[in-house]
Structure 1
């Protein structure tokens, strides 16, 4: 593993556990690199935070995608996203959404961080749009927005309540959203 990758992997974990406000001295001490090495790869702490968010985005989407049974029906694939979320919520290391956390901590004062958060949210929504498209439902963007908001809400609820059942509730609601969209196909457009 390269020094840059080592820094990125460990800094991401530390910032997820303790927040983006963790000091550079703490980071270099716990990662086991010199401050000069850190700054060689990430000239500013903001650069490091943005790179960590991008790294966490890759990990998050790979985890969600990797846990989908691609041989199942499109609807089952979409709903299985919530199964993956439930497993994540049950992990002892679960601290909510790193992107929401970063937004609360920094986004108003750090446009690069805010942009990284928005890129993640947009990429996640685009991924959900593809899953909804595979279901052959109308109003794909609207339905995908509903599903994405259910994912967000479940994540925040699971963090606050320390209860992975938030994913089950969101999944049941997502099923209702899908059924309603499916009924609109059968009944035709509403005048």
Structure 2
């Protein structure tokens, strides 16, 4: 008899809470989370002593999914420039999903405006690691100043995410992709 492994309760809580926080914001109450996730209060608090602990776990979960989503549009055998531009293809696919509600990290920063909130550091780590990953890709393009160009590309990504959310228009990724191609061409080493 083949038995499916039971999902880890902690992982299930994080996955469901991440979805709910993304859809409705981090202001969602613990009682609502418990009801909608379908766990006992004691189970939630066993894994996450505070709501802030749960928010941090959710941000780390979303960070991993975000990076996976971006990488999904990149083929290892593509030229370096196409790999960078493929980020925007991945973004466009994401923007076209019915559940798209902007950047979970920007949303959390706005909702939890206190820079002393524990989530603030997780947001900074996400933004820094995204920029470092883009810098690795940009370095392969042979541009003169990969760190600066990576910052430009990441700002185009951020702008596309915000525009797509506000305007409900996935083509924001296409505009950002065209701008990224111009940035890469203008900074091509010599």
TM-score range, shorter chain: over 0.9
* Kept in 1: contact 2:14–2:61 (CA 8 A): yes
- Which consecutive unaligned segments of at least 5 residues does structure 1 have? 187-191
Question: In the alignment, is residue 93 of structure 1 matched against residue 99 of structure 2?
Answer: yes
- Cα offsets for 1:40-94 (capped at 9, x unmatched): 1011001100110000000100111122111110000000000000000010000
2:32 alignment partner in structure 1: 26
TM-score of the pair, normalised by structure 1 = 0.94
CA distance in 1 between counterparts of 2:53 and 2:115 reads 14
Instruction: Give the alignment's Cα RMSD to 1 decimal.
Output: 0.9
Question: In the alignment, is residue 172 of structure 1 matched against residue 152 of structure 2?
Answer: no
2:79 alignment partner in structure 1: 73
CA distance in 2 between counterparts of 1:179 and 1:99 reads 30
CA distance in 1 between counterparts of 2:116 and 2:13 reads 21
CA distance in 1 between counterparts of 2:117 and 2:138 reads 31
Cα offset, 1:108, TM superposition: 1.6
For 1:43, what is the secondary structure of its paired residue? Answer: coil
2:46 alignment partner in structure 1: 40
Cα offset, 1:110, TM superposition: 4.4
Cα offset, 1:109, TM superposition: 5.5
CA distance in 2 between counterparts of 1:107 and 1:42 reads 22
* Kept in 2: contact 1:107–1:113 (CA 8 A): no
CA distance in 1 between counterparts of 2:30 and 2:131 reads 33
Q: After the TM superposition, which segments of 4 or more aligned residues of structure 1 sit over 4 Å from their partners?
A: none
* Kept in 1: contact 2:72–2:90 (CA 8 A): no
* Kept in 1: contact 2:88–2:177 (CA 8 A): yes
CA distance in 2 between counterparts of 1:109 and 1:73 reads 40
* Kept in 2: contact 1:46–1:112 (CA 8 A): yes
